[in-house]
Structure 1
Amino acid sequence: MKFSRIIAVIGFLVTTLVTAQNKQISLEDIWNGTFRTEGMQALHSMNNGKQYSVLNFDRSARTASIDIYDYKTLKKVKTLVNSSDLEGIQAFFDYSFSKDESKILLTTQSQPVFRRSTLGEYYIYDTNTKGLSKLSENLVQEPTFSPDGSKVAYGFQNNLYVKDLSSGETKQLTFDGKKNSIINGITDWVYEEEFSFVRAFDWNADGDKIAFIRFDETEVPEFSMDVFGSGLYQTQQVFKYPKAGEKNSKVSLHLYDLKSDTLTEIKVDKSYDDFYIARLNWTNDADVLSAQYMNRHQNELDLWMIDTAKSTSKLVLAETDKAYVDVTFNLTFLKDNSFIWTSEKNGYNHIYHYTKDGELINQVTDGDWEVTNYYGFDEDSKTIFYQSVENGSINRDVYSVKLNGKNKKRLTKRDGTNSASFSADFTYFINTHSSATSPQEYTLNDSKSGKLIKSIKDNDKLAQKVNDYVTSKKEFSTISVNGNELNMWMIKPADFDPNKKYPLFMYQYSGPGSQQVANRWNGTNDYWYQHLAQEGYIVACVDGRGTGLKGAAFKKVTQNELGKYEVEDQIEAAKKLGALPYIDESRIGIWGWSYGGFMSSNALFKGNDVFKMAIAVAPVTSWRFYDTIYTERYMTTPQENPSGYDGNSPINHVDKLKGDFLLIHGSGDDNVHLQNTMRMVEALVQANKQFEWMVYPDKNHGIYGGNTRLHLYTKMTDFIHKTLGDKRVKSDKKEEVKSKIKG
């Protein structure tokens, strides 16, 4: 009896193990959190350099806490605040410290406005008194402590306010703010989307002045979107959106002096006609403000130093480029107000050191590779910490180098994607590492040597879970296309047979400076590609000309002709891959989202003898429909470059459609408007071309919420099976048989 039970148990375990190792990735698995990674949320290095804080959330109790850990031991030192101890707050989901860490701003509610902007409910927690106070009864934007932590500035209904935390009094600084007209201190739609910032105000070092950008949207054309909701009548969202060639907001720079209670406009010693103020930063001098001005073509960037006490300005740096100059967040002022700057002026993005007057001291990094992130400068050791692709363009590593450019060290040792968060005193850094074969792991490292001290958090359980499924290796390589060696990855079915022929499904994004071929852990799409590989498809991705991290010339070759060289590369890559003995050249498809949807549409139309099908999600169909800052950076205006706009817009090539086409969009997309798809649909109809399409009601550019993503990917998967899969072949054979019988 006992023996038979043991045999039965062993049999059960063997069966379970075999079954587990052959689990198939379902679409439900991808979107229900099965493959979710664990991370370190809201990581912050404490001022003492010895400790760090993270946000922890107790899902069962639905409470949040800010917990302090010791770098050296990694042990929890204390809980700084727990929402269970705060009256009137169930939980918070984000936090920020005042400079001296005596106060904490807690975010308890948030409503999205656009991609980066939110309206939020905020509380201020005093770590000394344990007191809690609400910042405002209103939902406000971008609350920011003054340097001494005594005040908080924020935006509300397009005006700026300052709250004195001692007296509790709130002072309104501007009064002309009006929806779709005037915005003070918060960016307009196009600045937020394309210059990647929302807070357009900044405190000076003494906390007695606030500089801000004012946006006059009065002449910017309005765009409206129907919001269908669940009511009997739809409503409309109306906002200012400058499309290529149209009028932008008129921007101006202003200063509020809290001591004198005066508001003045700041002007620089140069007359600008149509321009952007792309960045705003105070220097360490409480009277000196830096501002970055750009011309509308974005091929000239001026860095100004403005003495607000003397009302004088000085142009300290002027960058120019035949194509465009990238704007970054890397400007850093040292104690002597000399500054660190990054630039592509030698053909690759590198770090430079300038005097406060803009004289070049030295180029800190150099080589045929790109600096991809700047982490900071340690004044004591005169060391800069940064991330780059020196170890191959699909990898990222963390490096240190002296300010004089000497003694460069590679601090991370494992190939893949490494990113760092440094302690306040630069003694340690927490490294996040992942690769195509290993999920995110957080480790404590020594900043001088890069030496691994301890592992903080890993995703070994996830790795084991993934190992229980049938998966295929992501194979990295290069492919020679149109005179360039392009980065590529490929995923083959786990039971790949080189003697069989497989359909090929290609993915790309292809936007300027982007990268999809990277040695990092799976995103959700990667699990979808594994699912497709299980179903018998080969999936490949090629980063063509115009993508990033291979130098300015490679990236900017697409200038004035977006969609020309990138499409040529995808078509040629598909031809080369189709010539492989194990790929069925008659069954090649391509897909993409946003810029990728623009590309997949063009590839199907222009490469109609190569691609059998394409899926375009939220595509731009004509650059005339997209915004000024992004489009004109690469294309100038449609008035100046009409052929560049029209010659490569898929809406103008619908007559070439031969294969199967699936077009998808969200009706609430404030970024790439549904207008793009509607105009494409009309063009296809008038060209008498059959196609399939889907509109997701009230969904934005990300098309998510509830079951939306599962529905979307199910629809795309079914379309792939119908147009590329073996079912299509069987169906075609049935039709042949039927026709013969009838004949």
Structure 2
Amino acid sequence: MHSSTLPSEQSTNSVDFPRQFARTRRFSLGVPRHFTVSPDGRRVLFVRTGSGADPIGRLWQYEDGSERLLADPALLVGAGSGTVPEEERLRRERARERSVGVVSYATDEAARLVAFALSGALWAVRTDGGTPFSVPAAGPVVDPRPSPDGRYIAYVSRRCFHVVDLTGADRQLARAEDPEISYGLAEYAAAESMRRSRGYWWAPDSRHVLVARVDTSPVERRYLSDPADPAKPPQAIRYPAAGTANAEVTLELLSLEGERVEVEWDRKAYEYVVAAGWDAHGPLVTVQSRDQCTMRTLAVDPETGATEVLHERTDPAWVEILTGTPARTASGALVLPEDEGDTRYLTVGGQRVTPEGLQLCAVLGVEGERVLFTASDDPLETHVWCHEPGHDLRRLSRDPGRYTGAARGGTLVLAGLTPRGHEVGVLRGDGAAGDPPYQALTSLAEEPSITPRPVHLTLGERKLRGVLYLPSWHEEGTGKLPVLLDPYGGPSIQVVGRARDWFTCVSQWFAEQGFAVLAADGRGTPNRGPAWDKTIHGDQLGPALEDQVDALRAAAAQCGDLDLTRVAIRGWSFGGFLAAAAVLYHPEIFHAAVAGAPPTDMRMYDTHWKERYLGHPEEQPENYERTSLIGHGHLLSRPLLLVHGLADDNVAAAHTLRFSAELLAAGKPHSVLPLPGATHLPADDAVNAQLLHFQRDFLMSALEGGAGKE
């Protein structure tokens, strides 16, 4: 690379960045998260690890302006990273959990009793003083949750549902009749694709529980083995691939006295249980049709299990699931999203309460008639808003960034990804962030050794949001830079925004190696409205790839230092699929690619996620043919590196292995990097550090060494 300047300190720091990136688990360690505010607003509970490089989560309480440690796994069970039940390991994998120790918790209604699991044991602590204490349980504990009155703790053990009081008197309310049946756990499709991680919900009276019963026997069985350890037996998992049978999910109303009532609805027409809950007005359940074009909100009679349709949403493409909905206010008004035109509105009691152009993202909570939610009127930012009858709609987060939060009793917790990184603050009163009294919760996260230098761009006729990262040592006009596209490009994730996240740091690191790095959010990515979302219906590849090509050309028109004769692309998961597709279909534009965990055969991906966008494979096979890479390997003419974890139970390694076999049979040279023992989110720090180096070296070599050196 030719430059009139020497590499800067930023470039020098890039040498240490891959190791830092790995040991901090993508800079997630040490960040306060999982907030609960007490009803009186005096106490805030949260989880935070011991430092930016310590993976052990601890339970904390903020009260009267100070933080207090409630539970430290190192003092309770040693390192806090002992063996966890298989159901808990799978729950963490679905949540992409990167820490150990206390990774989640639940409280009673008053936030006085907190329950959590450590290495399969049940623990509790009171927030008004005292030390954590163990609660005898019938077996390894998963997802413990106190009753609203704090007298009992429910949990799942060996797929059975239990309730125990604080003396250890245990009741098994539902016994798994078969190894394929579980009570109180979310099935794979719910946890991976519907954002429903729970499988039971307490009633306000603390005497009844709404519990999901899951039967996975109809679901296809897959086997995950470890080729690096041939003596280890394979693990059997139930995976609902597109077009195949789902788990059978039913709901039961259980009483502490042992009574059981089954919830009734047309399960054949509505086989997905999207959400559930139990408030002062009774149980509430949301179900969805297999084609995802109809979603119903049902009120449940707690005595008989009979249901009544309270609301129905339909869409010719699919009905979007929105986190936190449905909910009900104190008066019983339903809180729901409504899509019309290119706006996703918030509705309360059937009335729209947000304006056109403000895109509802999630409902964070309801207190009385007040609704706290996140929304975006700029694709680069997401803010916390408040709706309350008799008051103007208010935005509570001020500075640029992507925010979430929790509120209760006049206390607001704002957690944001800002241009400065993770920031969390506690605010008392009805003001917004920055108003006194405002106090930041301590973040122990490490400061990245790389400082992103984003140049935000609006690209092409569709006004794609993009961001360009250039080497800190590069001066405009001093030489052409090879280009690296660094997208995700699929539903649910944005990589462009006014916030410093781990992926912005990684993009800048690649820039310091000598690339001009371009990231762009195309059609189907969030926060541009329902019409934007639905443009990918029936074709997840064409629009996404076209937008990356358009973004590249538009960026090159704005920045003359981009060398379009040397263009690479990298990505993981959907981004990996997009990277492999780029060199298959546009070798005249893309000259090399790194594809991590790419779903190459859409028929092998799960029912709820893939049928949402492509329909049922038996009814619309052409959508799967058009979108899958399998069957098109003969088109490859550029260097391609495929990377895949061999223990990935989300995008199975078979995606990469079958595609590689197809490439080999077609005589198409390529490279494969298998990661033994790695899941969809590789956890080994050494592997994660070296992966960045490996990708850089592959791309430099593929582009004939034109990307310079550290």
Task: Rate the CA distance shift 1:384–1:217 in 2: closer, same or farther, 3 A.
Answer: closer
Q: Which residue of 2 aligns with 1:299?
A: 293
Q: Is the 8 A contact 1:24 1:534 kept in 2?
A: no
In structure 2, C-alpha distance between the alignment counterparts of 1:271 and 1:44, rounded to whole Å: 34
Identity %: 21
Shift of residue 66 of structure 1? 5.0
Q: Which residue of 2 aligns with 1:309?
A: 303
Given candidates 411, 420, 429, the residue that maps to 1:428 is 411
* Counterparts of residues 243-282 of structure 1 (less than 5 Å): 243-259=241-257, 261-268=258-265, 270=266, 272-273=268-269, 275-282=271-278
Shift of residue 700 of structure 1? 0.5
* Counterparts of residues 245-394 of structure 1 (less than 5 Å): 245-259=243-257, 261-268=258-265, 270=266, 272-273=268-269, 275-285=271-281, 288-328=282-322, 329-345=324-340, 347-354=342-349, 360=350, 362-379=351-368, 382-390=369-377, 392-394=378-380
Task: Rate the CA distance shift 1:414–1:61 in 2: closer, same or farther, 3 A.
Answer: closer
Q: Is the 8 A contact 1:369 1:388 kept in 2?
A: yes
SS at match of 1:210: strand
Q: Is the 8 A contact 2:108 2:148 kept in 1?
A: yes
Q: Which residue of 2 aligns with 1:175?
A: 175
Q: Which residue of 2 aligns with 1:449?
A: 431
Task: Rate the CA distance shift 1:289–1:431 in 2: closer, same or farther, 3 A.
Answer: closer
Q: Is the 8 A contact 1:430 1:445 kept in 2?
A: yes
Q: Which residue of 2 aligns with 1:739?
A: none
Q: CA RMSD in A?
A: 3.0
Letter paired with 1:441: E
Length, aligned pairs only:
672
1:44 aligns with 2:23: no
Q: Which residue of 2 aligns with 1:100?
A: 110
In structure 1, C-alpha distance between the alignment counterparts of 2:411 and 2:621, rounded to whole Å: 53
Runs of at least 5 residues in structure 2 that lack an aligned partner in the other structure: 1-6, 81-100
Shift of residue 456 of structure 1? 1.8
SS at match of 1:708: helix
Q: Which residue of 2 aligns with 1:195?
A: 194
Task: Rate the CA distance shift 1:610–1:271 in 2: closer, same or farther, 3 A.
Answer: closer
Q: Which residue of 2 aligns with 1:685?
A: 664
Task: Rate the CA distance shift 1:624–1:21 in 2: closer, same or farther, 3 A.
Answer: closer
In structure 2, C-alpha distance between the alignment counterparts of 1:636 and 1:62, rounded to whole Å: 40
Q: Is the 8 A contact 2:649 2:679 kept in 1?
A: yes
1:418 aligns with 2:431: no
Given candidates 51, 56, 63, the residue that maps to 1:70 is 63
Q: Is the 8 A contact 2:122 2:135 kept in 1?
A: yes
Deviates more, 1:33-42 or 1:549-558: 33-42
Q: Which residue of 1 aligns with 2:453?
A: 473
* Counterparts of residues 544-583 of structure 1 (less than 5 Å): 544-578=522-556, 581-583=560-562
Higher relative contact order (CA 8 A, sep 6+): 2
In structure 2, C-alpha distance between the alignment counterparts of 1:79 and 1:566, rounded to whole Å: 46
Letter paired with 2:527: L
TM normalised by structure 1 equals 0.84
In structure 2, C-alpha distance between the alignment counterparts of 1:434 and 1:222, rounded to whole Å: 39
Task: Rate the CA distance shift 1:439–1:377 in 2: closer, same or farther, 3 A.
Answer: same
SS at match of 2:647: coil
Task: Rate the CA distance shift 1:351–1:537 in 2: closer, same or farther, 3 A.
Answer: same
Q: Is the 8 A contact 1:472 1:493 kept in 2?
A: no
In structure 1, C-alpha distance between the alignment counterparts of 2:32 and 2:606, rounded to whole Å: 35
Q: Which residue of 1 aligns with 2:210?
A: 211
In structure 1, C-alpha distance between the alignment counterparts of 2:294 and 2:72, rounded to whole Å: 49
Q: Which residue of 1 aligns with 2:640?
A: 661
Letter paired with 2:517: V
Deviation per CA, 1:185-223: give whole Å up to 9, x if none: 212222221122232111211122222222222221101
In structure 2, C-alpha distance between the alignment counterparts of 1:141 and 1:40, rounded to whole Å: 23
Q: Which residue of 2 aligns with 1:536?
A: 514
Deviation per CA, 1:659-690: give whole Å up to 9, x if none: 11111101100000011011101110111100
Q: Which residue of 2 aligns with 1:11?
A: none
SS at match of 1:665: strand
Q: Is the 8 A contact 2:199 2:211 kept in 1?
A: yes
Shift of residue 303 of structure 1? 0.8
Q: Is the 8 A contact 1:499 1:581 kept in 2?
A: no
Q: Which residue of 1 aligns with 2:91?
A: none
Letter paired with 1:194: S
Q: Which residue of 2 aligns with 1:637?
A: 616
Deviation per CA, 1:512-569: give whole Å up to 9, x if none: 243111111131x333322222222100011111111111111111101111111122
Q: Is the 8 A contact 1:369 1:550 kept in 2?
A: no
1:702 aligns with 2:681: yes
Shift of residue 313 of structure 1? 2.2
1:31 aligns with 2:10: no
Task: Rate the CA distance shift 1:51–1:583 in 2: closer, same or farther, 3 A.
Answer: same
TM normalised by structure 2 equals 0.88
Shift of residue 455 of structure 1? 4.2
In structure 1, C-alpha distance between the alignment counterparts of 2:296 and 2:55, rounded to whole Å: 49
Q: Which residue of 1 aligns with 2:183?
A: 184
Task: Rate the CA distance shift 1:58–1:689 in 2: closer, same or farther, 3 A.
Answer: closer
In structure 2, C-alpha distance between the alignment counterparts of 1:219 and 1:89, rounded to whole Å: 41
Q: Is the 8 A contact 2:115 2:153 kept in 1?
A: no
Q: Which residue of 1 aligns with 2:89?
A: none
Shift of residue 605 of structure 1? 0.7
In structure 2, C-alpha distance between the alignment counterparts of 1:461 and 1:196, rounded to whole Å: 26
Deviates more, 1:707-716 or 1:220-229: 220-229
Letter paired with 2:272: Y
1:400 aligns with 2:391: no
Q: Is the 8 A contact 2:283 2:300 kept in 1?
A: yes
Shift of residue 726 of structure 1? 3.6
SS at match of 2:421: coil
Task: Rate the CA distance shift 1:192–1:604 in 2: closer, same or farther, 3 A.
Answer: same
Shift of residue 375 of structure 1? 2.7
Task: Rate the CA distance shift 1:657–1:697 in 2: closer, same or farther, 3 A.
Answer: same
Task: Rate the CA distance shift 1:80–1:703 in 2: closer, same or farther, 3 A.
Answer: closer
Shift of residue 500 of structure 1? 1.6
Q: Which residue of 2 aligns with 1:5?
A: none
The structure with the larger Rg is 1
Q: Is the 8 A contact 1:145 1:153 kept in 2?
A: yes
Q: Is the 8 A contact 1:25 1:527 kept in 2?
A: no
Q: Is the 8 A contact 1:158 1:178 kept in 2?
A: no
Shift of residue 22 of structure 1? 6.4
Runs of at least 5 residues in structure 1 that lack an aligned partner in the other structure: 1-17, 110-119, 355-359, 731-743
Q: Is the 8 A contact 2:185 2:200 kept in 1?
A: yes
Deviates more, 1:123-132 or 1:703-712: 123-132
Task: Rate the CA distance shift 1:649–1:386 in 2: closer, same or farther, 3 A.
Answer: same
Deviation per CA, 1:709-732: give whole Å up to 9, x if none: 1122221111011112645899xx
SS at match of 1:652: coil
Letter paired with 1:448: D
Shift of residue 63 of structure 1? 9.7
Letter paired with 2:458: T
SS at match of 1:615: strand
Shift of residue 153 of structure 1? 1.7
Task: Rate the CA distance shift 1:55–1:691 in 2: closer, same or farther, 3 A.
Answer: closer
Q: Is the 8 A contact 1:623 1:645 kept in 2?
A: yes
Shift of residue 378 of structure 1? 4.0
In structure 2, C-alpha distance between the alignment counterparts of 1:648 and 1:337, rounded to whole Å: 44
SS at match of 2:695: helix
Task: Rate the CA distance shift 1:65–1:531 in 2: closer, same or farther, 3 A.
Answer: closer
Task: Rate the CA distance shift 1:229–1:461 in 2: closer, same or farther, 3 A.
Answer: closer
